[in-house]
Structure 1
Amino acid sequence: MPVARKLPTAIVAGLVAALLITGTSWARTAAFLLDLAGVEDGVRRWIPIPPAPVTWTDVEVPTRHGPIAVRIYEPAAVFRALVVVFPGVHGGGVDAPRLTRLCERLAASGFVVACAPLPDLRVYRITSRSTDMMEDATAWLADSRWARRRRAALVGVSFAGGLALVAAGRETLRARVRAVVSIGGHGDLERTVDFLTSGALPDGTSRTPHDYPLAVIALTLADRLVPPDQEDGFRDIVRLFLDASLDGRAGTPEGQALLAIAADRLAQLPEPAHGLAAAVLARDVRTVGTALRPHVKEFARDPALSPALAPRPLMPVFLLHGTDDNVIPSTETPLTARDLETAGNRRVRWLTTPLLTHAHLMADAEPDAVRQLLHFWHDVQATVQ
């Protein structure tokens, strides 16, 4: 939940006053959310819980597919539990600003935080290797000196949220994971891909999907979409597009420069790769979706990528989703909760909220939405610690 602007003071003020009366744990939850939102004055000053000083160190964590660069954040004072954070499909590593903010604020609220960007997701590819590496890294960290009682909590953001549910259901992690938090994640990859390639939602309505995940899937499946001699050129152009789209970079001089390079390379790319790459650059989601549809079934039905096809996790699961998300639609969250409950997990808590977009905290919401998010995250903290 990396993110961004100030929560409305008038809405939060009354809630914070009530929380201070209710107890320290509630005040701690409010402090974390306000710190994450970047609120440093006004209502934040009413909460007598300063962020704990945090130090960090970089380590390499071994996995069956090679090591992962992980940054460990440690609070100076309180140590409650280990939380392993897996960001979604993003070209940044441990230094990505939004990821750094999330992990620092989590650690400042008293958790040891292991920030673990997965190599394939960093190059915009959704692969089963990522789930394996998530499993191995979590097991290693749970057995390390940073974990209490050889257990950790998992936080997965975006597509890593769905992968975290798959990893947590594996035998290796069942005794090592105390809880899973999926923020903006998927529960059924085939259902999610069907939305992305058609705009159709499970309730029969439709909306326009976001261009970013379509480009990611096109890159992941490039070997099925274009001839072998055009694959490298196609991949380069799509990567440039995704790099230009990171963290609001589109529209900036840096983003425009990357798109200009992509346009130059597009001019040299023959058909059929040229047409598909041009549609990606034009953010033409209908054309890209139509091109992907014949090729996505095998990818979407991989049990290593889709929680609906994998053994279900039985530890506490928290599902958080932005109501208006068009990267992974918010319809995934209640359907995933129902699936987990049907499979026997009676410890599932979920929330869709207008305070999130895909995985970014928003500024404005009604008081009830703020209250719901505070209650939800308070339950997360209480369970994880």
Structure 2
Amino acid sequence: MAASLVDMRTRLRLGALLMALSLLPALLSGCASLERHHQALLVLGDLSAGSGESRLKRRSEPPRREGVHYVRQGRAYQADLYHPREPRRGSLLLVHGFTEQGRRDPRLVALAMTLGRVGFTVMVPELEGLRDYSISTREVEAIVDAIRHATGSAPEAPSRTAVAAVSFAVGPALIAAMDEAVANRVSFVVAVGGYYDMTDMLRYVTTGEDRGGAGRAAPPPQREARWAVLLSQLHWLEDEQDRTLLETIARRRLADPEAPVAGEARRLGASGRALYELVTNRDPGRVEALIARLPPSLVRELEALDPSRRALDSLQARLVLIHGPQDRVIPVSHSRRLRDALPPGQARLFEAGALQHVAVSPGWRDGWGLWRALVHVLALGEGE
């Protein structure tokens, strides 16, 4: 244990030294750049601290949170607006991932507060599909409506906004940012731990094979990921008994990976069994055939939420990809492929060892890549 503590201290000191050395160009280029580099350090520290004390919290005022309601073409929504004390980095739409607490998830609130402290006006819409694990193209529509609200509903609203999303929400957010109705209103997109190819994502989650890895081995997937995917697609099954049985199976296995589920599995109908067989499959070569056996409505939705099937030249925004190289939910190869699918210079990828999928590791361990990403996001927020 003593040796591991020494190693940790050494890594932290080395990381701090590298960050300090990187400030030298900023010293030569001007005070604004130096301040941005320093603020990125404060943001990193605040993200690592969570709800605890940090230098950023001590040095800045928290943003004011306001609950708002808005309607678009008969569709009613709720959102939280975080108003910074010093609005200097424009608007940012923050899209939450799978969480039953929605926009009030404590981790999401903490992130919105952090972004507000450094000058972003943050809007966090409530997305029911991500709240109840029923993700669909409905979320794309809701994000498009949120972009419209953020950019044009109030006289003081900016004409453009940034969009940030995490994990499985990256696909809907990216597709929304390409929608012709709002594409010119999105200045940049931040995608943290997101997917690019839906079929390959399902293959990795269920079998562990990462076909987009270009020969580089991916870490083994988290066992829980397959059950989260199952929950996210249950709403497409017409048979109520199948939905109930599969939800029971998924939640039981999330609580205990070894829990018995054979009894429920035997009672499944044809559609429910097709989805169950995809989620429990271990053979990478069977994935396409198992997807083809799913209900047609589910297949259409999977294809509609797949960025690799889209014409990415409709994305006008700049793209910031942040991904942990040891991500065990969605491999980093997805962000690499997404970067390479766009014109040179439109997307930047930061491989951040400090990320455990979308959570920041304690103690800033391997925080170099994440710090560089934060510097870039802060610069984009200032219009650079």
**Same fold by TM (over 0.5)?**
yes
TM-score, with structure 1 as normaliser: 0.77
Q: CA deviation at 1:380?
A: 1.2
Contact 2:19 2:368 survives alignment (8 Å):
no
Q: 1:359 to 1:277 in 2, by over 3 A?
A: farther
Aligned residues: percent identity? 23
User: Which of the numbers 208, 214, 217 marks the counterpart of 2:229?
Assistant: 217
What pairs up with 1:219-234 in 2 under 5 angstroms?
A: 219-222=231-234, 228=239, 230-234=241-245
Structure 1: gaps of 5 or more residues: 1-5, 251-255
Aligned to 1:308: 308
The alignment partner of 1:137 has SS state of helix
Q: 1:40 to 1:338 in 2, by over 3 A?
A: same
User: Which of the numbers 112, 116, 132 marks the counterpart of 2:121?
Assistant: 112
Matched to 1:336, the amino acid is L
Rounded Cα–Cα distance in structure 2 between residues aligned with 1:112 and 1:7: 37
- Name the structure where helix makes up a greater proportion of residues: 2
Offset from partner CA, 1:314-339 (integer Å, 9 cap, x none): 22101111111121111101111011
User: Which of the numbers 159, 175, 180 marks the counterpart of 1:150?
Assistant: 159
Structure 2: gaps of 5 or more residues: 1-8, 28-33
Q: 1:194 to 1:28 in 2, by over 3 A?
A: same
Aligned to 2:145: 136
Which moved further from structure 2: 6-15 or 161-170? 6-15
The alignment partner of 1:37 has SS state of helix
What pairs up with 1:57-136 in 2 under 5 angstroms?
A: 57-63=66-72, 66-136=75-145
Q: 1:13 to 1:324 in 2, by over 3 A?
A: closer
Contact 2:37 2:375 survives alignment (8 Å):
yes
Q: CA deviation at 1:36?
A: 1.3
Which moved further from structure 2: 301-310 or 118-127? 301-310
Aligned to 1:346: 345
Aligned to 1:271: 266
Contact 2:44 2:364 survives alignment (8 Å):
no
User: Which of the numbers 364, 373, 376 marks the counterpart of 2:373?
Assistant: 376
The alignment partner of 2:139 has SS state of helix
Q: 1:147 to 1:371 in 2, by over 3 A?
A: farther
Contact 1:7 1:364 survives alignment (8 Å):
no
Report whether the alignment pairs 1:30 with 2:41: yes
Q: CA deviation at 1:277?
A: 10
Report whether the alignment pairs 1:14 with 2:17: yes
Q: CA deviation at 1:221?
A: 3.9
The alignment partner of 2:349 has SS state of strand
Rounded Cα–Cα distance in structure 2 between residues aligned with 1:52 and 1:286: 50
Rounded Cα–Cα distance in structure 2 between residues aligned with 1:82 and 1:241: 40
Matched to 2:65, the amino acid is W
User: Which of the numbers 165, 168, 175 marks the counterpart of 1:159?
Assistant: 168
The alignment partner of 1:175 has SS state of helix
Rounded Cα–Cα distance in structure 2 between residues aligned with 1:48 and 1:199: 40
Aligned to 1:194: 203
Q: CA deviation at 1:49?
A: 8.1
Rounded Cα–Cα distance in structure 2 between residues aligned with 1:7 and 1:277: 52
Rounded Cα–Cα distance in structure 1 between residues aligned with 2:235 and 2:119: 45
Rounded Cα–Cα distance in structure 2 between residues aligned with 1:90 and 1:238: 19
Contact 1:54 1:74 survives alignment (8 Å):
yes
TM-score, with structure 2 as normaliser: 0.77
Aligned to 1:356: 355
Quote the RMSD (CA, aligned, Å).
3.9
Aligned to 2:6: none
Matched to 1:211, the amino acid is R
Rounded Cα–Cα distance in structure 1 between residues aligned with 2:241 and 2:284: 20
Contact 1:63 1:133 survives alignment (8 Å):
no
Rounded Cα–Cα distance in structure 1 between residues aligned with 2:57 and 2:46: 13
Q: CA deviation at 1:68?
A: 2.7
Contact 1:188 1:307 survives alignment (8 Å):
yes
Q: CA deviation at 1:97?
A: 1.2
Contact 2:177 2:183 survives alignment (8 Å):
yes
